[in-house]
Structure 1
Amino acid sequence: MTGKAEQNVVIVGGGFAGFQVAKQLSKKLDAKRYNLILINSRSYAISLPATSRSWKKTSFVKLDKLYANGNGETKVGVVTSVEAQPGVPGGAVVLATGERISYAVLILATGSKWTGPCDIPENEADFAKANHVVIVGGGAVGIVLTNYTTQTKKVTIVHGARSERDWRKRLHVRGVQFMFNEYIDNIPEAGVVGVSTRSGKHISDADLVVSARGGRPNTDYVTSLGEDALNGHGFVKIKPTMQLLNHPSIFALGDIIDWTEQKQIGKLMWHVPVIVTNVVSFLNGVTPTKKYTGAPEMIVITNGRKGGMGYFGFFGGFTLGDWFAWLVKSRDFMVSHFRKDLGY
């Protein structure tokens, strides 16, 4: 790949983390010195939470307007490996097509891999036809997936943890039922009716069973850097400067980093500034010093279009209810903000 400049700054992944870094770096990098290249498997970004209401026309947004003054480009491709030597700056990424793109700085932002409906594309028609939807996993993903359903459907969440009284009460209002301290190990194939839990309980009329278990880091390609690049769960090991331990010119952020915190979009408010500042320093020959020290835990989970709950880890932790959730998220899943961030 060629460009006017001799050196490339490459970002792998065009989700929330990747496109925000690309947007900020496009304002700071000199186009005469660096080509800013965002590599993504699609030509568009997806607001995954918003797809739970089938808003594909608004939640799928092209990655062509996010660069300041056009200072950057999006390349559609899948990175399968990284070529780099420990302690040696620079290297290259290799695409599934065999194309090789060199970099002066590489930023990894490939996020999570999901199963079930969160793995785009999903078959939305299955939800429309089903009479009894069983959702496996009662965390944030499982609760959000209830937005696919209507009051005319029977919905059961199978959750391995104990009862969470507040959420149970709120979802019961919408007709959602729960089975706590239960697990479903095998998701039935399409068309199979009925499913059994690990303990032997049988849900005979379940005609759609979907997985809402948490995602796993999308880092298979990082294994090319050696076994010490990832921890035992597939997360990228980083320094507080968000550089990889043995590769000073490679940075990582978002869901894929080995950091003890919940994997949430909100963390990017703290991740992105560290990455941008340190990348600019590195390119200018200055040792990166800005450190990531963690971020407060916070989450807003929707319950239909008008309700939900928010938790914020400030001041010892506090929660806010339906009105707040509606104001900031439930009414449109923040799609308007997402589109504005991408230049639309």
Structure 2
Amino acid sequence: MSKKTDERKKNVVVVGGGFAGIDAAKGLAKQLDHAQYNLVLLSARPYFVNIVAALRTVVSSAGQLEEKVLVPYDRLQNVAFVQGRLVEIAETAPGKGGVLVLADGDRLEYAALVLATGSTWPSLIDFGDADEEVREKIGVWRRTFAQAKNVVIAGGGSVGIELAGEILDAYPNTKVTIVHSGTRLLNDAYPDKFRDRMEQTVRARGVALVAEDYVDVFPEPLATTDVVTRAGKIIRGADLVIPAFGARPNTGVVATLGGGVLTASGHVRVAPTLEVRGHPGVYAAGDIVEWREQKQAGKASAHAAVVVPNVVSFLRDQPQAKVYEGSREMIVIPVGRAYGAGYFDVLWGIVVGNWLTSVLKGKDLIVGMIRGRLNY
């Protein structure tokens, strides 16, 4: 399976190479007894994809961001990387480890398991697994945006808002319309004062908004057509209609653990220790966790801070003392490089505007900081 693993040792496996998986792997690398355990990071892709910068990457080739947002795992210390797509988790017995079955037929035993399989994203940034597939998709979207003149975005969450800003930065003459199901942009996890500021910022950039409505039909890209919303509004001459709905938990393979593991929404049922309910020694982190909070990359480190010590305690047959108590809601949404708004659930609930949003995120999408997490 990997020349970097010692077959005489047991494996602790982290499944998923996104934000939560990286934070869990880095934490375990520092705390595991490497004389007894191999630490393995299993991911279907050959590198980390910085989803925070994905929208800017697919809209335009400016800055050649793909060279910065696709980051190899080879500088993670004391971590053996295995590329493969997981298709089944075959648990020996609760608390007794098991075997991970990969699409190519390979099998990887585990003594403890961290599931950090992340989200499935709207098609625009739902990248494939192979390097050539990822890069081809980026190229196709860039060519498409360069030709589009009238774009309709279905979804007024953070993805739709950021996408509108990136389009207008790269192509200022493109007409952009957001169709959103709610009365205000975003959702009610955030206060109205922030959502109102967000709408003001989006409108100031020239984006047209259609509220309390839906797009049900998505024509082929660059096929000019009149878009008729569910409520009957006509958006004339659209040549690109993009779904930008919220992400969904990527947990299909997690269901192979057995019945009752997933909620109706597809999230993983966990105890406050972030151990999967009914499956000792198996943990979940990141977007897939059933917890009443917004699913964001910023939550990953807090999840890892609970999972890592509890994995170590499990392996030592000691009580698991760390529990997750949730995280404050914070979000920064650029509308291009120089515009946007942010919300921080501290004090009275702080809302920030264009300048601070640009400094915190919009200008460079914290690409350098994120590369640093993988030691680049």
Q: Which TM class, normalised by the smaller chain length?
A: over 0.9
Q: What residue in structure 1 maps to residue 131 of structure 2? A: none
State whether structure 2 residue 94 is matched by structure 1 residue 62.
Answer: no
Q: What residue in structure 2 maps to residue 36 of structure 1? A: 39
Q: What residue in structure 2 maps to residue 153 of structure 1? A: 174
Corresponding residue to 1:235 among 255, 258, 267: 267
Cα deviation for residue 89 of structure 1 reads 2.1
State whether structure 2 residue 102 is matched by structure 1 residue 102.
Answer: no
Q: What residue in structure 1 maps to residue 99 of structure 2? A: 92
Note the residue ranges of structure 2 that are not aligned, 5 or more in a row: 58-64, 128-133, 185-194
Q: Which amino acid aligns with 1:36?
A: L
Offset from partner CA, 1:34-90 (integer Å, 9 cap, x none): 1111011111101112122222111111111122xxx11111111111011553321
CA distance in 1, matches of 2:167, 2:368: 20
User: What is the TM-score when the length of structure 2 is the normalising length?
Assistant: 0.87
- Residue aligned with 1:203, SS: strand
CA distance in 1, matches of 2:81, 2:301: 23
CA distance in 2, matches of 1:198, 1:138: 16
- Distance verdict in 2 for CA 1:204–1:144, change over 3 Å: same
Q: Which amino acid aligns with 1:243?
A: E
1:216-235 matches, cutoff 5 A: 216-235=248-267
Corresponding residue to 1:321 among 338, 347, 353: 353
Q: What residue in structure 2 maps to residue 286 of structure 1? A: 318
State whether structure 2 residue 9 is matched by structure 1 residue 6.
Answer: yes
Cα deviation for residue 148 of structure 1 reads 3.0
Q: Which amino acid aligns with 2:318?
A: V
Corresponding residue to 2:287 among 249, 255, 260: 255
Q: What residue in structure 1 maps to residue 124 of structure 2? A: 117
Q: What residue in structure 2 maps to residue 211 of structure 1? A: 243
User: What is the TM-score when the length of structure 1 is the normalising length?
Assistant: 0.95
1:173-192 matches, cutoff 5 A: 173-192=204-223
CA distance in 2, matches of 1:316, 1:293: 21
Cα deviation for residue 186 of structure 1 reads 2.4
Offset from partner CA, 1:216-254 (integer Å, 9 cap, x none): 100000111122000011100000000011111100010
CA distance in 2, matches of 1:281, 1:51: 36
- Asked whether the 8 Å contact 1:81–1:94 carries over to 2, the reply is yes
CA RMSD of aligned residues (A): 1.4
- Residue aligned with 2:74, SS: coil
Give the length in aligned residue pairs: 341
Runs of 4 or more above 3 Å deviation: none
Q: Which amino acid aligns with 1:114?
A: W
- Residue aligned with 1:243, SS: coil
Q: What residue in structure 1 maps to residue 192 of structure 2? A: none
Q: What residue in structure 1 maps to residue 190 of structure 2? A: none
- Asked whether the 8 Å contact 1:93–1:101 carries over to 2, the reply is yes
- Asked whether the 8 Å contact 1:219–1:234 carries over to 2, the reply is yes
CA distance in 2, matches of 1:142, 1:267: 21
Q: Which amino acid aligns with 2:167?
A: Y
CA distance in 2, matches of 1:53, 1:264: 18
- Residue aligned with 1:186, SS: coil
Q: What residue in structure 2 maps to residue 142 of structure 1? A: 160
- Residue aligned with 1:51, SS: helix
Q: What residue in structure 2 maps to residue 201 of structure 1? A: 233
Identity %: 42
Q: Which amino acid aligns with 1:341?
A: R
State whether structure 2 residue 354 is matched by structure 1 residue 335.
Answer: no
Offset from partner CA, 1:118-170 (integer Å, 9 cap, x none): 21244221111100011110111111112133211000001111145322221
- Asked whether the 8 Å contact 2:89–2:101 carries over to 1, the reply is yes
CA distance in 2, matches of 1:172, 1:202: 19
Offset from partner CA, 1:170-209 (integer Å, 9 cap, x none): 1222221111111012222234322221112222211001
Cα deviation for residue 269 of structure 1 reads 3.0
- Asked whether the 8 Å contact 1:151–1:175 carries over to 2, the reply is no
Deviates more, 1:264-273 or 1:245-254: 264-273
CA distance in 2, matches of 1:243, 1:77: 24
Q: Which amino acid aligns with 2:67?
A: K
- Asked whether the 8 Å contact 1:136–1:210 carries over to 2, the reply is yes
Cα deviation for residue 256 of structure 1 reads 0.2
